[in-house]
Amino acid sequence: MAKTTKRGIVSAGLMAAMFIGALDVTVVSTALPHITKELGGLSLISWVFSIYTLTTCVATPVFGKLTDLFGRRIVFAIGLALFVLGSVLCGAATSMVALIVFRAVQGIGAGALNPVVFTIVGDMYPGEQRARMQGVFASVWSIAGLLGPLVGGYFVDYVTWRWIFYMNIPIGIVSFLLVFLFLHERFEKKRKRIDYAGAAAFSVAITALLFALVNGGEKYAWGSATIVGLFAATAVFLIAFYWIEKRAQEPMIPLSLFRLRIMNVSNIGGFLSFAVTAGMTIYPPIWIQSLLGHSATSSGLTTMPMTLAWPLAANIAGRWMYRMGTKATVVIGSCVVVAGCAWLMAVELSSPYWYLVGILIVVGFGMGFITTPATVLIQSAVGWQMRGVATSTNSLMRSLGQTVGIAVFGTVFNHYAVTGENAGLAAGMHAIFVIMFAVAIVNLFVMAWLPSHRQVMEQQKAAS
């Protein structure tokens, strides 16, 4: 008799895994002053974050494909094990270089957690239940974002910074047991062909791209031979990746995905909307601290309302999207983001603090209405055998949107703020706000091309 998946128990395990993955994004920043004081290597501090982002982005689609080939449970277990191993090594690091290397291991594991978790949720819950659960899981990111600085501060002040990594061990073990013991899958077991060449070409291309985006305009000028060479390498290896995927028996990212309108629209929209949110999390707090004269604590708390509005809206969208229409929900969310960006564009030096808080609430609410329905549409458009790679590809595009957004906005800001005077800072940030508004408008037009949920289901039925 086939064993039945215990959905409630597995969901708890998945939430625990998502929690430590999300917590690690924010908790480290609190401890960095103490880490550099003990380990040295202050000049390498940016790489503690950059290497994590880089390896996560590279690993995400690879793990997504592996879940479709070998099943969700084993790939989730491997990803979680790598993340916990990376955490143990980070906690034991004796130099900044070692910490960066171990953060790379952590990032590889994190590349499995987010897309595989949402893929398993898509497998376990059908229809409206899936939409509701996607909203619930989105709340985990918000809770982790709020607790991260508090937890990090507590361990740094009263224990040791090493425990910001060691605390992942017990939570990871519990998550592993709940998922591995109670998730039961049924899929056809046959010989699998791993697309090693495609994975290698993709990894080199994305690594070169992210290295260029992280260092361009900072360590190297955009027109320098290093950055130009990195962009050229990105183009060459992306072309090689396309050539390999056309011929591979089991392509890492099946090109047939890009014949689906839902995938193309959702990926472009995810890239654009997350570029906007990247700017939202960076520049309004800078405005509040540098131009309005508020404290660093007050500035840092500015983004908290957005992290609360986002999951609240995601839960509402998960419950309403089948009544309102999935496409309509996404378009409404995109309109709300446009409204928030328009309000931000109108901010002046005389504008009060609460304007910025209100803007972030509006944008966070709009993003909650975009992300949950888009994920559900993607997972509805493909069968089990492609759900992992479809979900992970969309996650990658969202991450790339954030990375590109940060790079573009940083270049614009540095151009205006070179003097360090308030007039230059205000002009630089206002130019960024205008760009964000333009990107939000483009995103709205892109999302208007989404097929309805009914059309997606009809297309999938016709293809099967």
| pLDDT tens string 198-222 | 889 998 998 899 888 888 877 788 8
CA distance 118 to 125: 11
Check whether residue 99 and residue 225 sit in a common domain: no
Indicate whether 205 and 64 sit together in one domain: no
Give me 285's structure tokens.
């707090």
Residue 96 sits in a domain whose CATH number is 1.20.1250.20
Per the domain annotation, does 109 fall within a domain?
Answer: yes
Is residue 355 in a domain?
Answer: yes
One domain for residues 235 and 282: no
Tell me which DSSP letter residue 87 carries.
H
Provide the residue range defining the domain that includes 14: 1-184
Q: Are residues 240 and 258 in the same domain?
A: no
Q: pLDDT per residue over 430-443, tens digit each?
A: 999 999 999 999 99
End-to-end alpha carbon distance in the chain: 28
Is 216 among the domain residues?
yes
Closest CA to 432 of 371, 312, 373, 345: 345
| Region for residue 408 given its phi and psi (left: phi exceeds 0; alpha: psi -120 to 50; beta: otherwise) | alpha
Half-sphere exposure of 256 toward its Cβ, with a 13 Å CA cutoff?
Answer: 14
Q: Which of 270, 252, 290, 246 is nearest to 394 (CA)?
A: 270
Q: Using CA atoms, how far apart are residues 356 and 131, in angstroms rounded to an integer?
A: 30
Indicate the SS3 state at residue 273: helix
**Alpha carbons 145 and 168: distance in angstroms, whole number:** 15
Give a yes or no: residue 86 inside a domain. Answer: yes
DSSP string, 96-109: HHHHHHHHHHHHHH
CB atoms within 10 A of CB 451: 18
Number of domains in the chain: 3
Residue finishing a domain among 184, 210, 232: 184
Show pLDDT as tens, one digit a residue, over the chain (464 residues).
Answer: 346 778 889 999 999 998 888 887 777 877 777 888 888 877 777 788 778 888 888 888 888 888 888 888 889 999 999 999 999 999 999 999 999 999 999 999 988 887 888 888 888 887 678 878 877 887 787 777 777 777 877 888 888 889 989 999 999 999 999 998 888 877 665 566 788 898 899 989 988 998 888 888 777 888 899 999 999 999 999 999 999 999 888 888 888 888 888 889 999 999 999 999 988 888 888 888 778 877 656 666 677 788 888 888 888 888 888 888 888 999 999 999 999 999 999 988 888 888 888 999 999 999 999 988 888 888 878 877 788 888 888 888 988 898 888 888 888 888 787 666 678 888 888 999 999 999 999 999 999 998 876 766 665 555 44
Tell whether 46 is covered by a domain.
yes
Q: Are residues 318 and 234 in the same domain?
A: no
- Which of the listed residues 127, 157, 184 is the one where a domain comes to its end? 184
217, 234, 249: which is the final residue of a domain?
A: 249
Q: How far apart are CA 414 and CA 428, in angstroms?
A: 7
Q: Which of 400, 405, 401, 411 is nearest to 207 (CA)?
A: 400
Pair 131, 372: CB distance under 8 Å: yes
**345 in the same domain as 243:** no
Is residue 191 domain-resident? no
239 and 267 fall within a common domain? no
Q: Is residue 25 domain-shared with residue 9, that is, in the same domain?
A: yes
Cβ neighbours of residue 183 under 8 Å, at least 6 residues apart? 5, 10, 72, 73, 76, 120
Longest dimension (CA), the chain: 72
Q: Answer for the pair 50, 219: CB distance below 8 angstroms, yes or no.
A: no
User: Does residue 291 sit in the same domain as residue 178?
Assistant: no
Same domain, 303 and 401: yes
Q: Which residue has the tokens 């503690």?
A: 48
User: Where do we find the tokens 């193309």?
Assistant: 264
Would 90 be classed as within a structural domain? yes
SS3 115: helix
**Cβ-contact 27, 151 below 8 angstroms:** yes
Does residue 92 sit in the same domain as residue 208? Answer: no
Residues 96 and 177 in one domain: yes
